[in-house]
Structures are given as C-alpha cells and as structure tokens.
Structure 1
Amino acid sequence: MSETELPDDTTLAGDELDEDDRLKPGFVRAVLDAVEAGDAAGARALVAPLHPADIADLFELTPADERDALAAALSDLLDADVFAEMNDYVREDLIDELSATQVADIASELDTDDAVAIIEDMEPEDQREVLRALDPDDRAAIEKALSYPEESAGRLMQRELIAVPEHWTVGDTIDYLRGHDELTADFWEVFVVDGRHMPVGTCALSWILRTPRDVAVADVMKRDQTLIPVDMDQEEVALRFQKYALISAAVVDRSGRLVGMITVDDMVHIIQQEAGEDVLRLSGAGEGDINEPIALTVRSRVAWLVVNLGATIMSASVVGLFQGEIARFALLAVLMPIVSALGGNAGTQTLAVVVRALATNQLTSSNTVWMLLREFRIAVCNGTALGLVGALGSFAIFRNVELSGVFALAMIINSLVAGLVGVLVPVALDKARIDPAISSAVFVTTMTDVMGFFSFLGLATLWGLGR
C-alpha cells in the first residue's frame, strides 16, 4: 500500500490513519499533494478508510479549482452515499461533470428523499435526461416527489418503508420481512394499514421480536401516531419530531393514504438548517454557505446593505433636525450614539427571542398580549438600570446634572421602544405571512435609532441644554 508524506514529515498509510488526523489540514493537504503528483493510488489509500460523510467533507474542504482533479482520482470511492452527504453547491459542481446515465445510477442507489435532493436542483433539461435514464419505478417515485412543494414533507419523505395489513399476525410479519430481500433495510417501526392503505397504527421492531408469533399485529400495535400531511412545511415537520420525540413518522396524502415516511436522521439536518437560516437571515447574510457562488452571496447581501443604508439616512435626518442644539452643546454628539446603540442591542435581544418563539410555535395569537407585557416589564427594568448607570457615568465624566438626567430618560424611553417593537414587528410580519427572520432586524434597528436620537435630542431641546 502506498504512503503519502504529510506536511509534518509523518507518513500515514490508509489503514494506519488515526481517526483524530482525518480531515485535519495536514491530511487534506497530503491527499491533494498526492493527486497533484499523479499518485491516485496513494490518495485513494488515504481516503478509503473514511466514512462517506467524511469523504463529502473532504471535497468541501478542497479549493474549488482542485475538486475536479480530486474527483477523478477518487472516482472509485465516489458512490451514492458520498453524494447524499455532500454540500449542495459542491455536489452541483461535481454532478455537472457527470453524464445523465451516471447521475441516474447514483440516484437509483439512494432512498427517494436523497435522490430527490440530488435531482431537484438540476436544470430542467438535465433533470429530464436523468429521469429518462432511470428505471420506470424509480422515475415514477422521484417525479411524484418533485411534484410536491419545495421544503415540504413530500420532498423529504422516502417511499421505502414497511407496511403490513392489520389482520396479519406477528408471525406473518416476521416471515414477510425475512422473505423479501427487496425491502428497505433501514427502518425502526412497521406501519399497520387498513384495507384502504390508511395507517391505523405502528409496531416497533422490539415489540415484534418480543411477541409470540400467533398474536395479531392489531393487538400489539400502537394506535396513537403522529401523521405528517404530505404538503406540510419541513420546519413544522421538524417541530413535530422535536415535540413528540419521534424516530420516524408516516406521511399521508390528502385522502389519508400512506405514501411515505420521514426518519429522524433527515430531521436532524433540517433542524440544523432551519436554525442556521434564521440566524443568518436576521443579519441579512443570505444562506451563509462558504461554498455558495460569490455572485449569489453579493446579490443577497447587497440588497440588505442598501436597505440598511436607507435606514441610516433616515436616522441621520432626525439628527439633522437638531443640528442647532448640537452646535451649541457639543456634548450631545458624544452621548447620542450610546442611546441609539443600546436601544438597538435591546431590540435585537427581544427580536431574537420572539423570532425563535414564533418559529417553534411558542408564541401564538393566544399569548401575544402576555408576551408583549412581559417584554414591556423587562424593558422597564433594563431601561431603568441602564439609565441609572448611564447617568452616573455621564455625571462622573462631564459633571452636568441636567445632561445626565436627559441621558437617563432617553435610555429608559428607547429601551421601552426596543421592547415594544421587538415584539410587535416580527408578530405583525408573521401575521402578514412574511418571514420575520428576514426583515424584522431592519425595522427594529431603524425604529430604535430614530427614537434614540429623537428622544435624547428632543429632551435636550426641551430642557434647554446649552442655552
């Protein structure tokens, strides 16, 4: 077996690779150096022991201009499981280099949900070519899945499942599982259906194995089950898996017939994806995927930067209304950014809590008023504390009682504004069916900036500071 030298002058053959060294910079560089040197066998020896998910990560860690050469060297290791684990953008680049027949071969080895994930992002013409290259059964299953809305249960589900009629015995079920090699190998429970193929219960594998053969499945099955409508959004599906601690769940069509199942391994990915999306949307950073094409990243970020520019101009216009007072009493210019910044921070804190509560269904129309009052009380406490600390700090530096009093009042007012808009803005956007994670931050920070400047400079003007 060939060996490839690592940068730190150590060598690791593929079967000697320490698990702690996998995917570290030295290992990745060693694989790429082997590829560059034309030592494909050496590269394969290093990569062969890796799990498919680790091989997928290896491609994601490889610079874009070196991935094609790496794919050519590791062609024997690039199986369907590796493509299923790969980042969307990286996978698209590699798929573009494959023929329709090769993509069809990969898709045919995967469960329906993983095959759909590979095919759904392809160009329509390429998609049709791949579908034509599939065998009729696989093509029909994937075309049906593609007919459902994006990010819905229909796209996530896999059609490979175990379903038995309710009149069977445990023995009939065991014989069926053992006698059909074509059945899916990955399942944790058996779905029980009636004569119309509607799910009436589930049987965990442990129950089947521990129950005498002559007992009817209907007598041991669990009748309470969580059914997932085929058009349910993936975020709502993830919430159900979290709430009810599901391992798998049946997916039903509009008539209530069993059409597929969703498993918890898919939900782990969705939960991570949805949580990450919400955080990035709050900052206007787009998808935040480092493998995303630069043009798409610029397009997604610049739009929100332009919106923020408009909001900043609005805030500056408020300051412009009080330029005479600022000119007469320059200390106002020193303190007013503090009022604005702390209001923005307080608003962002409230916003993050509310957006999460909306996403997890903790905040609904039934408890919105309670949430508003709760955040109002928190804002009163925070504003009072910040006002006192700010006033003491201002007086210690500038020795001006009136300025410190205005500063404290402005801090309290802006904290109250931050608490109110931090709740009302995302709730209003959610009612309007606009994702609050995308656009709330701009509105909240704009309002706290405007009210911060207006309250501080307005109070200073009314108080007659600097005159």
Structure 2
Amino acid sequence: MLDEMAREHAAKADGLPLRNENGDIRAEVRDAVAAAVEEGDATRLRALFADLHATDQSDLLLSLDPADRPRLIELLGDAFDFAALTELDETARTRIVEALETRTLVEGVRELDSDDAVYILEDLDKEDQDEILDQLPALDRVALARSLDYPEESAGRRMQTEFVAVPAFWTVGQTIDHLRETEELPERFYEIFVVDPRYQLLGEVPLDVLLRTKRPVAMVDIVSDERHQVNATDDQEDVARRFERYNWVSAAVTDDAGRLVGVITVDDVVDVIEEEADEDLKALGGVKADEELSDTVWYIAKSRFSWLFLNLFTAILASVVIGMFEGQIEKMVALAVLMPIVASQGGNAGTQTMTVAVRALATRQLGNANARRIVLREVAAGLLNGIAFAVIMGAVAVAWFGLPDLGLVIGLSMVIVLIAAALGGILIPLALHKLGADPAVSSGPFVTTVTDVVGFFAFLGIATLWFRLS
C-alpha cells in the first residue's frame, strides 16, 4: 500500500495534464511517479504512464532521480515504450541500459523498429550487444547485427530494415492485396520498392502513384524517374544534406552491390541534423561533442581542460605583446583603460566571421569556387564596421580624456583590428579545413590569438609611434 504521502501525491496527480503552462513536467505528477517507484506500485505507474507519447515518457523519466529510472522501467514492463530511451542523451541512456536486467532489455528491443534498436544497442560494449542479440529471434538478430557492423554515423546505422519490396513482375493489384493481407508491415512507409531476383533495387513507387494506378499495370512500369537512394556506408551528415537539398521524405539504402538493405526516413534525418548542429555549436565553444548535461563534474572538468589550457597560452602571448609597451602604458594610463575595448571588439568580430565560415564549410556552401568572393566580402564588412567604430570610439576617447590624438589612435586601431578579425575569422577555418582538421573544433583559439595580438599591438604600437612623433 502507498503510505500517506504517496497517496497525497497520487491524488494531486489525478486528472492533471502532464505539463504545466511552461511545458515542464508538473511537480505533482513527478512526485506521484517517484512515490509509486519507491513503493513498487506498478499498477499506479501504469495508470500514470497510460497513453503517454515516447517523448513524454522520456521527459518524465529524466525528471526522476537517476537511481530510480531503471526501477521505473522494470516496474512498468510492457507499458514502457523503449523508444523513449532514444530521446535521452547518450550518458543517461547508457546508464539506464546498463542497469536494466537483460530480460527487460531484450523484451524492449524486440518491440522497437530496427533503427531505434540499433540506436540503443550501439552505445553498449560488444559483449553486452552479443548477449542481447543472442536472445532475439533469428531474423531480428541478423538484421540488427548487420546494422551494427556498419561504421558509426553512417546511413547503415540510421536505416530501418523494415520496408516493403516487391518483384518487378508484380502488378499493382497484387501489391495492394499483399499490403492488405500481410500483418507484419512497417509501422509507417511512404513507397514500395521494386527489386529484381537478386534483391537489387530497380526503383520505387510512391504510395500516391500506386493508389492512382489501375490494378493490371506492372509495378516496374510505374517506378519513379527520381531515384532516392544512398549507400549504407555513406556518412549520415552527407545523407542529411541530400534530404535537405532535394526535399526527400525517405530514401532506399543499398549495399556496395546495389542490394536493398534498408530505408532511412526524414524523422531520422532530423535527428542527424540536430546532432550535427549540436556538435558544431559545442565545438565552437571548445566543448567536446559528447558532453551531456547528465555527465559528472569530473568528466566535464577533464574534457574542458585541454582547450582552456590552450587558451591560456594564447592569453600569455597577448600579455607578452602588452609587456613590450609597458613603458608607454605607465606614461599614459588612458592606454590601459582603452586597450581592452580594442581587443574585445576584435574578438567579437572575429567570432562572428568564424561562426559564419565554419557553418558554411559544414554545410558545403563555402568552397574553392566562392572562397575568394567570401573573403573579400568579409574584409569589406570588417572595413566598414572598422570605420564606423573608429568614429564612435574616437569621439568617446576625446570626450573621456580630452586628448584628440588619443581619439585618432584608437580610431586607427579599430579599423586595423576589425579587418584582421575578418581575415582571421575566414582564413583560419579555410586553412584548417584544407589541412583536414575540423575548423569548428580548432578555429577558436587561433582566431582569438590573432585578434588579441593584432589588437594590442596595433593600439599600443600606433600610440607609441604617434606620441613620439607629436
């Protein structure tokens, strides 16, 4: 029986929507689930999880203490949708899967589409994968093992091995009858694939074309002129780009011999696009792509240390430049006051250009054909902004310190540092890309170094030269 507190939580959760007006899980629902897990009340949990979408189950699972998550899944049994695990970050998912009993995991994987099953299994060690695969039906085992043999982040890992394929000599009528009479069809599909006796792909027939065609017509006669096809070893990012460029909904996946082995759909591609964008965004900040919110403090600190260490060297280099003008700074305190403004503007401008360049390289919008034009465009933009901020900061410096010469010095410095920021922000990612390095990961420290060193050297150098001559 639930204790008094658990009954109170359960009563509050009855009749309430899962989420509040902000889209967050309601505290009453979360507390009711946590209390039911603590008491081992499977009946209550099933009532709370009834008819919830996999995404909602995932969010509710994440709202619990990590130690309670595997226990919740065990108590729910077949009421838990294992597709919810695909919505979790890798760290949280792996911890849950490793804590589950093998029997529970096997039963859950059996109910998933093959692409979701692979997504869960690929995080496990080979030994744990084999233990689960050995307990699956032969057909499921072979299909999942084949997908797991493909390279990580390839179309073969993302594909679904459930699809509908028919011989070329079948008619539209035979195909429609087959679809109506066959029980084990994919949950959703958008086309019928036409194959030869060796299972090589001959083409595809969209469902709308199938339903508009008379029954006696052969399937091979109505295959689409447009072939939506990728290779199982193709990189998932390249596949996603083709979906985006040509507005595909799904695509056949073939092996090197041209045999049909699976299908990849737009819902999987959306996940790929989100993952790749997430990786690029993290990389620009010097954060590892696999860092998740559920990671431990020690792991996060260790993973970020290397880039912080590299940034320390760039900061020391900038400080060395400042030290070269120590005497001039001592004579005029205003230089020390204004110096960070120049470096800051350069850093921000460099980051803007670098972000545009890295994203354009990632999406292949920037290449040899248009590199020169883009570089000139960024330099021109840097020059215009440099002139604008030279006027603004020159006026500020004169008003602040009453020294017209100082306004001219900082104005010239602004023009130089913003042009340097534009050049560094575009040329450094291009150079790293040419050398085979990931510009998203490596560009940041180099661009920062360029803007800091050029900014300090330009400002202090011009100031020293100007005041010596005046």
Instruction: Name the TM-score class by shorter chain.
Output: over 0.9
Map 1:298-447 onto structure 2 (within 5 A).
Answer: 298-447=301-450
Aligned residue number for residue 227 of structure 1? 229
Q: Contact 1:344–1:449 (CA<8 Å) still a contact in 2?
A: yes
Query: Which amino acid counterpart does residue 190 of structure 1 have in structure 2?
Result: I
Aligned residue number for residue 12 of structure 1? 13
Give me the whole-angstrom Cα distance separating, in 1, the residues matched to 2:186 and 2:213. 22
Deviations 1:403-440 (A, max 9, x none): 11110111111101111111111111112221111111
Give me the whole-angstrom Cα distance separating, in 1, the residues matched to 2:32 and 2:455. 56
Give me the whole-angstrom Cα distance separating, in 2, the residues matched to 1:103 and 1:466. 79
Q: Contact 1:59–1:90 (CA<8 Å) still a contact in 2?
A: no
Question: Secondary structure at 2:99's aligned position in 1?
Answer: coil
Aligned residue number for residue 205 of structure 1? 207
Give me the whole-angstrom Cα distance separating, in 1, the residues matched to 2:252 and 2:356. 32
Structure 2 residues not aligned, in runs of 5+:
none
Give me the whole-angstrom Cα distance separating, in 2, the residues matched to 1:429 and 1:47. 50
Query: Which amino acid counterpart does residue 373 of structure 1 have in structure 2?
Result: L
| Distance change >3 Å, CA 466–CA 304, structure 1 → 2 | farther
Aligned residue number for residue 122 of structure 1? 124
Residue number among 189, 193, 196 corresponding to 2:195 in the alignment: 193
TM-score scaled by length of structure 1: 0.93
Q: Contact 2:13–2:32 (CA<8 Å) still a contact in 1?
A: no
* Matching of residue 292 in structure 1 with residue 295 in structure 2: yes
| Distance change >3 Å, CA 19–CA 206, structure 1 → 2 | farther
Aligned residue number for residue 246 of structure 2? 244
Q: Contact 1:329–1:465 (CA<8 Å) still a contact in 2?
A: no
Question: Secondary structure at 2:364's aligned position in 1?
Answer: coil
Q: Which one is further off, 162-171 or 383-392?
A: 162-171
Question: Secondary structure at 1:303's aligned position in 2?
Answer: helix
Give me the whole-angstrom Cα distance separating, in 2, the residues matched to 1:110 and 1:44. 19
Q: Contact 2:240–2:273 (CA<8 Å) still a contact in 1?
A: yes
Aligned residue number for residue 159 of structure 1? 161
Query: Which amino acid counterpart does residue 434 of structure 2 have in structure 1?
Result: K
Deviations 1:49-82 (A, max 9, x none): 3212211111122232333443444345324333
> How far has the Cα of 1:195 moved from its partner?
4.3
Q: Contact 2:284–2:441 (CA<8 Å) still a contact in 1?
A: yes
Give me the whole-angstrom Cα distance separating, in 1, the residues matched to 2:218 and 2:433. 48
> How far has the Cα of 1:96 moved from its partner?
1.3
Q: Contact 2:416–2:458 (CA<8 Å) still a contact in 1?
A: yes
Q: Contact 2:147–2:156 (CA<8 Å) still a contact in 1?
A: yes
> How far has the Cα of 1:101 moved from its partner?
3.7
Question: Secondary structure at 1:133's aligned position in 2?
Answer: coil
| Distance change >3 Å, CA 301–CA 58, structure 1 → 2 | same
Question: Secondary structure at 1:11's aligned position in 2?
Answer: helix
Q: Contact 1:199–1:258 (CA<8 Å) still a contact in 2?
A: yes
> How far has the Cα of 1:209 moved from its partner?
1.6
| Distance change >3 Å, CA 140–CA 71, structure 1 → 2 | closer
Question: Secondary structure at 1:260's aligned position in 2?
Answer: strand
Q: How large is the RMSD of aligned CA atoms in angstroms?
A: 2.3
Query: Which amino acid counterpart does residue 17 of structure 2 have in structure 1?
Result: D
> How far has the Cα of 1:322 moved from its partner?
1.0
Q: Contact 1:354–1:423 (CA<8 Å) still a contact in 2?
A: yes
Structure 1 residues not aligned, in runs of 5+:
none
> How far has the Cα of 1:18 moved from its partner?
2.4
> How far has the Cα of 1:20 moved from its partner?
4.2
Q: Which one is further off, 196-205 or 304-313?
A: 196-205
Identical columns (%):
43
Q: Contact 1:60–1:291 (CA<8 Å) still a contact in 2?
A: no
> How far has the Cα of 1:346 moved from its partner?
0.4
Give me the whole-angstrom Cα distance separating, in 1, the residues matched to 2:456 and 2:416. 11
Deviations 1:256-285 (A, max 9, x none): 222211001111111111112211111123
